[in-house]
Amino acid sequence: MELNLESFWLPFTPNKLFKTLPKAKIIDRADGMYYYTIHGDKILDAHGGLWCCNAGHNRKEIVEAIQQQASKLDFVPSYQMSHPGTFLLAEKLVSMLSNDLQYVFFTNSGSEAVETSLKIALAYWRLQGQKNKKIIIGRDRAFHGTGFGGMSVGNLTTTKQQFNNFLPEVLHLSHTHNLEKNSFSKGQPVHGIELADELLKFINVHGAENIAAVILEPISGTGGVLIPPVGYLEKIRKICTENDILLIFDEVITGFGRLGKPFAVNYFGVEPDMMCLAKGLTSGTVPMGATMINKNIYNSFMDLEGIELWHGYTYSGHPLACAAALATLDVYQKENLLNTDQELIRYWEEGLHSLKGEKHIIDIRNIGLLGAIELECKENNPVSRAIETFQKMFYKQNCYVRITGGNILTMSPPLIINKFEIDKIISSFRLVLKNID
């Protein structure tokens, strides 16, 4: 297939380089664990697309649900009207969480789910008569999407360096990544719970009466699969509760089985006041996100007359997205994909850590079906080894992984992965790293 590549400006891509590659990474179709390029190559998807294809690719049940919905109802606004799918899906999501997160606001992406949570947090405190509570606290090396709110509370330099206009009154906690003490940890690292005390320092300096919310990824995915130390999230929750500060979890990556549990909320046993979802919600088939809100916050808005929240999107709760999400959740339930077999998770863990000692590896991290391999940086080009490894994994080994957070390769395979495919990922890394300078 011959394509003119010129007109499309690819996001997060060196476009000039991409468009000169002799075999550009252009995918024609997908099935199960695999992509198929226009050149006929079969590529093992070790990253679930972009952390999102949790049920695998091109699942018949999901495809048919989308087709049926498209033939029945293509679009209806969610402004002062809706369709059955929004209510069915909201009820289903609430039923999956036996806690106070009982209301759902639909968006089209994780970025929009984050923006929604930040706006609700600020509006909530105004309703409480606490208009000074404007400060939002994020964390270094966090990624919360590409809206200005998400970029403000996130703190990946590479995603912010071109822009110079962000939300005011935003602070950032330190990240929890500690190579010296926690390298090659299996699951949660032991050291670092004291980093949660930095939140107390912010409170002492700025005053709890001025802080609206803390937003965290339970695990920082795009930052490089940075896993919280034992007790860290529990301590953050306790500090927020004691100081009347809202806690928001960005579960765009960790949601829908990624950790071997339905959500990070289940895995860590920590309940936030709001939770942002996307990606695995539809297994990547149709763009969709959601913000889950606890009943106390929701009920505060319901005391208002008329429109309670002046916020929304044209495609909030789109019929095709709802159909895709409902079918996806059915697949998860039928195949028990949200509670991944622990033997498979251990096999994944042992496979990844078997690479310890290979050339240039300075850390390996894993939790659930997430993984990261961190490489030692070259002195004059800190990401060159990761780029070379990524390219050789794709073109030489027919295996797709991603570069995130610097000189780090990350993996987030579909939850349908088996031991043979895990072995393929590990052996591919082993072969490639032997030939990296």
Number of Cβ within 10 Å of residue 396's Cβ equals 12
**Once rounded to an integer, what is the mean pLDDT over residues 161-183?**
94
116-121 average pLDDT score: 98
Q: Which residues contact 227 (CB under 8 A, 6 or more apart)?
A: 176, 185, 187, 188, 189, 219, 365, 367
pLDDT of residue 378: 86
Comparing C-alpha atoms, which of 19, 102, 130 is closest to residue 292? 102
Q: What percent of the chain has pLDDT over 90?
A: 93
pLDDT at residue 426, as a whole number: 98
Tokens for 22, please give them. Answer: 């002799």
Question: Is residue 367 pLDDT above 90, yes or no?
Answer: yes
What's the pLDDT at 86? Answer: 98
The pairing of strands 170-173 and 135-139 is parallel
127-131, 284-288, 405-409: which range is least confident on average?
405-409
Does the pTM surpass 0.95? The reply is yes
Spelled out in words, what is the top-level CATH class assigned to the domain 15-54+338-433?
alpha beta
Which residue type does 352 have? L
Cβ–Cβ contacts within 10 Å for residue 335, how many?
Answer: 13
Q: Is the pLDDT of residue 380 over 90?
A: no
C-beta separation of 208 from 137 below 8 A: no
Cα separation, 39 vs 49, in Å, equals 19
Residue 4 pLDDT > 80? yes
**Band of the pLDDT at 412, cuts 50, 70, 90?**
very high
Q: Quick check: do 15-54+338-433 and 64-335 share a fold?
A: no
Least confident of 13-27, 214-228, 248-262: 13-27
351: closest CA among 420, 289, 401? 420
Q: Give the per-residue pLDDT at 43.
A: 98
CATH class of 64-335: alpha beta
Q: What is the pLDDT, as a whole number, of residue 435?
A: 92
Burial 262-287 (b: 16+ CB within 10 A, else e): bbbbbbbebbbbbbbbbbbbbbbbbb
pLDDT at 388 over 80: yes
pLDDT of 197 above 90: yes
**Alpha-carbon distance values, 293 to 74, 92, 215, 407, 410 (Å):** 28, 14, 14, 36, 30
Whether 171 and 135 have beta carbons less than 8 Å apart is answered as: yes
- What is the total residue count of the chain? 437
Give mean pLDDT, residues 217-239: 98
State the pLDDT at residue 394: 96
More confident residue, 138 or 406: 138
150-161 pLDDT per residue, tens: 999 999 888 888
pLDDT of residue 99: 85
Residue 112 has pLDDT above 90, yes or no: yes
Q: Over 80: is that where the pLDDT of 177 sits?
A: yes
Domain borders along the chain are 15-54+338-433, 64-335
Mean residue pLDDT of the chain comes to 96
What pLDDT score was predicted for residue 222? 95
pLDDT at 21: 84
Q: Is the pLDDT of residue 382 over 80?
A: no
Give the pLDDT of residue 158: 82
Residue 105, pLDDT > 80, answer yes
> Can you give the pLDDT at residue 405?
74
Q: Which neighbouring-strand residues pair with 34?
A: 31, 44
Q: 40-69 pLDDT, tens per residue?
A: 999 999 999 999 999 999 999 999 999 999
- Percent of the chain whose predicted confidence (pLDDT) is above 70: 100
365 vs 367: CA distance, rounded Å:
7
